[in-house]
A and B are shown apart, each in its own frame.
Chain A
């Protein structure tokens, strides 16, 4: 069941501060990297909701994001629908797709669930790849960013766009917390801990899974729309299963089921990728070694490791400090 603690708040504030600082001061290249992190962070939050809090390890979240990107591109560029409406439409499409995937896969568990989601993802990939309307291998270009000139923002400026993505990431994080703390989120947690018992208590388990997967699909779709707006060009590769795999790597690297961890993971992954790929073309190897180290260390990712070591201690310090403070205040009053 999701809870914030002092460490989580501290890391969140640090990350938000660092991102804001970067967004305000970085040059073009830095802003590109930052935006890449922010978009990936939105995608991995979507994945953590289902995988970390519902035990539904999905290998189709990359495809859901890709569907969002294509839906946005088709609605805005081809159908000429205004970008905000096209954005909402794309998110609705991925929400519906997620709901259906969640409903269909709700009876499957473990490896079978992973394979079923992979199959959905691959179906979407080959359809986008084959159908002429999606531009095939060549992809689609000329994708417009949202026009926020009404409120005086020009999203074609990379700094503004990075800040826009940061704001959306903040909103998505808030939404994720609300989902996990809602009745639906509590039941999801119950299902992850003991599906049989939740059913015996009268819960329609498949509906809970489908609803949460749908909400997660909407978030993944938003990540896809932002990715499309960021690069202004999309190709079927976006829907490839490696994108989903990478998202899963980021969630595990950061800390499954912590929400904060995947944010750390996204930042670490993108920075590592850029730093390493500047030095060697074999950067995937290094990331692989790090992932293996994280997994065999039995820690729950980077953040999970930090939390296991210091989380409780920090909590105790804070509790002690507040306890010490209170008698002091009474004395001052007296």
Chain B
């Protein structure tokens, strides 16, 4: 469904993505682990097109999308959430979800009708609000909801484009362990055919949702396999106990 081949990227002298090759099957839930600064977010930026890799390619549903701009990739079913909330701050939760759903349904550029009033859009908004527990907050402005709820909305907005592949950048960053757990239950309840790539900081939580695990360290894939294997890996323990904890 989503694949990278020999992706490589440097910022000046800093080599942040080193020859990264990944492959996600349809419906696969892969978690990317790695210490701070390992290049996880930078990898996402290249996947969605916000950054251009120095070399290598990105493939979505069998097609090379490396040259496609962000919006076109998104319309082909690639959606992401951000590590730092990237919401429509002055608007309500409902409007946030609606703007995303409107793009997906093709109502976002119409002049003759209100996209947010379209039944198609409203259905998606209701569905997504249900999926990420936003129902009680639909009419609240982003500024009026707590940080934890904003994190849910961050993922909700990405989901409202009804993607084939959903990329989530540390969806639970900054929220307490209890809420993180709830969040992972929520991810587990998403449709099974949705392909997910999740950056997660907490290794134990990662095992809640992961079918497969990729570990990045200094921009390099140092592990790619099943959660059980990851649990036993000494390499992983080293990274986990070493730089990771201190990061």
Contacts and interface: CB of A to CB of B under 8 A. Distances in A.
Nearest to B70: A199
A204 interface: yes
A184 B161 contact: no
B48 A183 contact: no
B144 interface: no
B30 to A, nearest CB: 20
B157 A182 contact: no
A200 interface: yes
A36 interface: no
Contacts of B80: 200
Interface string A175-187: 0000101111011
Interface residues of A, number: 26
Interface stretch (A42-50, A56-64, A161-169, A188-196): A188-196
Contact of A196 (B86, B90, B103, B107): B86
B98 interface: yes
B87 A203 contact: no
A201 B115 contact: no
A172 B141 CA distance: 30
B110 interface: yes
A42 B74 CA distance: 38
Interface in A207-262: 207-208, 211, 215
A186 B48 contact: no
B157 A187 contact: no
A294 interface: no
Contacts of A204: 71, 109
Contacts of A189: 88, 91, 99
Nearest to B142: A193
Contact of A207 (B87, B100, B107, B109): B109
A183 B86 contact: no
A319 to B, nearest CB: 14
Contacts of A208: 108-109
Given A201-B100, A202-B103, A202-B104, A211 B86 contact: no
Interface residues of B, number: 35
Given A181-B114, A205-B71, A193 B91 contact: yes
Interface in B15-39: none
A183 B91 contact: no
B130 interface: no
A201 B109 contact: no
B170 interface: no
A194 B85 CA distance: 11
Contact of A193 (B50, B75, B88): B88
Contacts of A186: 95, 98-99, 102, 108, 114-116
Nearest to A208: B109
Given A186-B102, A203-B71, A193 B112 contact: no
A183 B109 contact: yes
A1 interface: yes
A108 B91 CA distance: 24
A197 interface: yes
Contacts of A199: 70-71, 74
Interface in A267-313: none
A201 B103 contact: yes
Contacts of A193: 88-91
Among A1, A181, A189, max chain B CB count under 10 A is at: A1
A194 B111 contact: no
B246 interface: no
A100 interface: no
A115 interface: no
A179 B109 CA distance: 11
B109 A211 contact: yes
A50 to B, nearest CB: 15
B66 interface: no
B113 interface: yes
Given A194-B86, A201-B100, A202-B75, 4 more contacts: A200-B86, A201-B103, A201-B104, A203-B103
11 contacts: A182-B111, A183-B107, A187-B103, A187-B115, A193-B90, A197-B86, A201-B99, A201-B103, A202-B72, A202-B74, A202-B75
